[in-house]
Each structure stands twice: as structure tokens, then as C-alpha cells.
Amino acid sequence: MGIATAFFIKYYGQGLIILSRKIWITIFSSILIGVGINGFIIPIHLINGGLWGVSLIINYLLGYKIAITFLCLNVPIYLLASLYDKAYFVYGLMGITISSIIIGLLTPLQFLIHLPTLHSVILGGSAIGIGVGFMLREHISPGGIDLLALLISKWLSINVGVALIVLDLIIILIGVMILRDERLLYSIIIISIVGLSTTILTYVKNINLYV
């Protein structure tokens, strides 16, 4: 019995510890992302890039619920991930499920926080960037674009933060053209903060792996 217990702990216990750690990191990060989106970005009608940004554009135009739109947009990217990298797919599925629930629960923050635009941009971008960065450094994705950025960084051997900035910038520019609102240019500041935070956090993680 002692040998069997030791075998289980060695081969399965460590995996459970890692999974538990990833779940708690996902919850913590999702709270940061939820506060950033609901507390600072939505009240000033900006977008923050990623599929959350696309969902916000659709919400502003058609009034569809952000969380539901976000889940629908993620389906094709997650199908792609399931074909090329099973680990990214599994952890990405965990990330999107937890983050969608928590971000949905934090919707009331949209009516509680009202700050000047620049303050909202800086605080919202920082909260989202730190949340996304902590998740990506654990190879967990909070959404489709982040998962796509992970896959691109793996295929092209570039930092995931750089891939994320490029993808987000494309979405922001599309949003500006569709919504025709120059205030959305503030969103460039948001994705810059998010991308910088993500790059720093994932870069530090990479350093730790080689020390």
C-alpha cells in the first residue's frame, strides 16, 4: 500500500498540484480582467483588443451580450488549437470558461466606477494586461486571440506579447473604421499597456525557466 501511495503521489499528486495552481491563477487573473473591462473600459465605450474587443464592438452596434458573443467567436480558434496543440486547447478551455463566468459576474461594475477617460484607460489597461500576462505565462488563454497569439508565438518563435499587440492593433483599427469614433484611438493606449504588461510577465517567466 505504501509503494502504491508513493507511486500515486509521484506521478499524479504533482499534476494535481500544478492543475490547482493554474486554476487559482486563472481565477485571480480573470478577476483582474473583469475589473478592467467592466470597471474601466465599458463605461467609457472603448475596446481593448482581442475577441473581447470584437465582442464589445458587436455589443455597441447590436446590443448583444458580450459574454455570449465572446464564447461564440472563440469556437473556431479553439477547434484550431485542438488540432495543433492539445495542452493549449485544454488549458485554454479552462481559461475561457472561468474568465467568461467571472467577467459576467462583474458586470455590475459598469455602473459603479466613473473616472476620466485617461485614468480609465491606464487603470483598465493595467488590470487587463496583468491578468492576461499571468495567464499566458502559465500557457493558459483567457480567450481566442490570446490563444491564437500563443500558437503564433510557438510557430514563429516570437514573444507572445508581441504577437498579441499586432493582433489587437488590427482589431482596434477595424473598430475605429466601423464605429467611426476617434475616441477609440485611446484603445491603442490600452492595447499598448496590455501588450507591454504581457511581454514583461511572459519574458520574466522565460528567464525563470532557464535560471
The Cα–Cα gap between 139 and 123 comes to 24
Q: How confident is the model at residue 31 (pLDDT cuts 50, 70, 90)?
A: very high
Q: Which pLDDT does position 208 carry in this prediction? A: 44
Query: Percentage of residues in the chain with pLDDT exceeding 70?
Result: 85
Instruction: Give tens-digit pLDDT for 118-143.
Output: 899 899 989 988 998 888 888 787 76
Widest CA span of the chain, in angstroms? Answer: 69
Q: Is the pLDDT of residue 112 over 80?
A: yes
Tell me the average pLDDT across 112-118: 85
Q: How confident is the model at residue 204 (pLDDT cuts 50, 70, 90)?
A: low
The Cα–Cα gap between 80 and 18 comes to 25
Tell me the average pLDDT across 48-76: 80
121 CB-side CA count, 13 A = 16
**C-beta of residue 110 within 8 angstroms of C-beta of residue 39:** yes
Q: How confident is the model at residue 205 (pLDDT cuts 50, 70, 90)?
A: low
The Cα–Cα gap between 133 and 149 comes to 12
pTM: 0.74
Collapsing DSSP states into helix, strand and coil, what is residue 5? helix
Between the two ends of the chain, the Cα-to-Cα distance in Å is 38
Burial class of 119 by CB neighbour count within 10 A (0 to 12, 13 to 18, 19+): exposed
Q: What is the mean pLDDT of the chain?
A: 78
Q: Which pLDDT does position 35 carry in this prediction? A: 93
Q: How confident is the model at residue 210 (pLDDT cuts 50, 70, 90)?
A: very low
Instruction: Give tens-digit pLDDT for 69-91.
Output: 877 888 887 887 777 777 777 88
